[in-house]
Amino acid sequence: MLLDILLINCKELLTMDHETKMVRGEQMNSLPHVKDGAIGWKDGVIAFVGTSTEAKSIKSKKIIDCNGKLVSPGLVDPHTHLVFGGSREHEIALKQQGTPYLEILKQGGGIHSTVKATREASFEQLYAKAQFHLKRLISYGITTIEAKSGYGLERETELKQLQVVKELAKNMDMTIASTFLGAHAIPMQYKENPEVFLGNMAELFQEIKDQELAEFVDIFCEEGVFSLDQSKAYLSLAKEAGFSVKIHADEIVTLGGTELAIQIGAASADHLIAASDLAVDMFGSSNTVAVLLPGTTFYLNKEFYAKARSIIDKGGSVALATDFNPGSSPTENIQFIMNLAMLKLKMTCEEIWNAVTINAAKAIKKENTSGRLKVGRRADVVIWNAPNYQYIPYHYGINHVHTVFLNGQEVAKGGAYIDE
């Protein structure tokens, strides 16, 4: 067979081709890879994975000599708020004065400010802005993402956000898991009756399902936002409607959203900075992935980070994400998140790579398409300007991407998206 592209002399080719669909506990320290590897594909589908010596007999239209570089699967970002209007730099002064995130929200800023801008934006404007950010995510080596709605808080704008995600996935030829986060904040006029608001959001489930606009339903379970009981009732309706569920859990206050996520078999529990010791233990015997977002702790200037070490040491499965959003984590740089995971979460480099590939894919139920390099899979591949995998969490704040291939096509080079 004549391949389209063959990469040779990949000093370390991380295949991440574990025997299991995700890794937990001690397994997170194993890193399936090929030394002096080679990988090739045809029509966007991986056709060869092996050593450079074995690749000598393989014929390809184009051969790229990686010259001792690191090569990995495209990274998976399992938690983003990709689609929104406006931005929130006007809240910097409030933030610097020490006004807490939940206080800004209470005063009608924060998420509410982004809701206003998102409602005002047209489909085309939202699409263009989301595409701009998506290209930047790709330029950092990400080839699969999850994207949430949640800046509409009413039917029309929530559906508009989800439609933007659907169009982007199609037009960018990208694997995107879509999440309905209508329960992201309580609109001011429902302040006294959040249940009525949640009822309105739940009424959209069927329409979203019928139009195939989302696979997941998520809720912000937090003090001053949605309570544990409200979250439980809402997510059980979501499950009845056929959705998989996720929770923004114990991000700021310990409410027990993490325990709830595990009890109801959520695909992931996200944030967990204030998760209880009991919740940490529960991950050890659960398939719910702990999605940790150290960029948010960093940007909210919090003292404590999620207890990644304890979750892994207790046998749990951890993934990492950017939480890209205009308020608590305005960054597309997953490599900086990998650095924070090394520095602040005390994760090993092997754990970090598993957390941004196969575990991240599992957290968004894309484990059969994303996060590993294997014959028959989509050629979502990254060549890194790095000699080894430890180098990415080590050298911080910059973009190490040499080339990103999305479905076999070169889409980013030298850390920049290639715009026609």
- 296's contact among ligand NIG, Fe ion, none, with CB below 5 to 8 A by partner kind, is ligand NIG
**Interaction between residue 359 and ligand NIG (CB under 6 A):** no
Order of strands across the sheet with 244-249? Answer: 75-77, 142-148, 175-183, 216-221, 244-249, 268-271, 289-292, 318-320
- Residue 305 interacting entry, from ligand NIG, Fe ion, none, C-beta within 5 to 8 Å by type: none
Stretch in the footprint of ligand NIG (CB under 6 A) among 14-22, 122-130, 325-333, 389-397: 325-333
Among 146, 218, 250, 323, binds Fe ion (CB under 5 A): 323
Please, which residue, 60 or 80, has the CB nearer to ligand NIG? Answer: 80
Q: 369 is written with which tokens?
A: 């398409």
Of 347, 349, 348, 369, nearest to 358 by C-alpha is: 369
Helices (H), 14-57: none
| Virtual torsion, Cα 408, 414, 417, 420, nearest 10 deg | -80
Listed ranges 281-289, 316-324, 362-370, 379-387: which one lies at the site for Fe ion (CB under 5 A): 316-324
DSSP string, 130-146: HHHHHHHHHHTTEEEEE
| Residue 384 near residue 141, CB atoms below 8 Å | yes
Contacts of 187 (CB under 8 A, 6+ apart): 112, 115, 153, 154, 197
Residue type for position 334: I
User: 332 contacts which partner out of Fe ion, ligand NIG, none, CB within 5 to 8 A by kind?
Assistant: none
Query: At closest approach, how far in Å is the CB of 71 from ligand NIG?
Result: 31
Element (H, E) at 39: strand 33-42
Beta bridge partners of 248: 220, 270
- Min CB(323)–ligand NIG separation in Å: 5
257: partner contacted, choices ligand NIG, Fe ion, none (Cβ within 5-8 A by kind): none
Tokens of 267: 């695909």
Tell me phi and psi for residue 396, to 5 degrees. -105, 160
Using the rule CB under 6 A, is 218 a contact of ligand NIG?
no
Helices (H), 185-227: 194-202, 205-210
Which of the listed partners (ligand NIG, Fe ion, none) does 73 bind, with a CB threshold of 5 to 8 Å by partner kind?
A: none
Q: Which is nearer to ligand NIG, 55 or 185 (CB)?
A: 185
251 binds Fe ion (CB under 5 A): no
C-alpha 31/C-alpha 371 separation (Å) is 12
Pick from 379, 256, 297, 284: nearest CA to 26: 284
Helix (H) or strand (E) holding 350: helix 349-355
Q: Is 146 a residue that touches Fe ion (CB under 5 A)?
A: no
Residue nearest to ligand NIG (CB): 327
Stretch touching ligand NIG by CB under 6 A, among 65-73, 305-313, 324-332, 342-350: 324-332
Does the footprint of Fe ion cover residue 332 (CB under 5 A)? no
Binding-site string for ligand NIG from residue 69 to residue 88, where x marks contact by CB under 6 A and - marks none: ------------x-------
Q: How far apart are CA 383 and CA 370, in angstroms?
A: 16
Minimum Å distance from CB 104 to ligand NIG? 9
Q: Cβ 84 to ligand NIG, closest distance in Å?
A: 7
Question: Does position 111 bind ligand NIG by CB under 6 A?
Answer: yes
Tell me the residue nearest to Fe ion as measured from the CB. 323
> How far apart are alpha carbons 24 and 313 in whole angstroms?
9
Site string (280-319) toward ligand NIG, x via CB under 6 A: ----------------x-----------------------
158 lines the binding site for ligand NIG (CB under 6 A):
no
DSSP reduced 3-state for 208: helix
Residue 246 binds ligand NIG (CB under 6 A): no
CA angle, corner 113, sides to 111 and 114, nearest 5?
A: 65
Q: How far is the CB of 114 from ligand NIG (least distance, A)?
A: 5
Identify the residue among 72, 114, 359, 403 touching ligand NIG (CB under 6 A): 114
**Does residue 325 bind ligand NIG (CB under 6 A)?**
yes
| Cβ 296 to ligand NIG shortest distance, Å | 5
114 makes contact, choosing from Fe ion, ligand NIG, none, with CB < 5 to 8 Å by partner type, with ligand NIG
What is the contact surface with Fe ion in residues (CB under 5 A)?
323
What is the contact surface with ligand NIG in residues (CB under 6 A)?
81, 110-111, 114, 220, 248, 251, 296, 323, 325-328
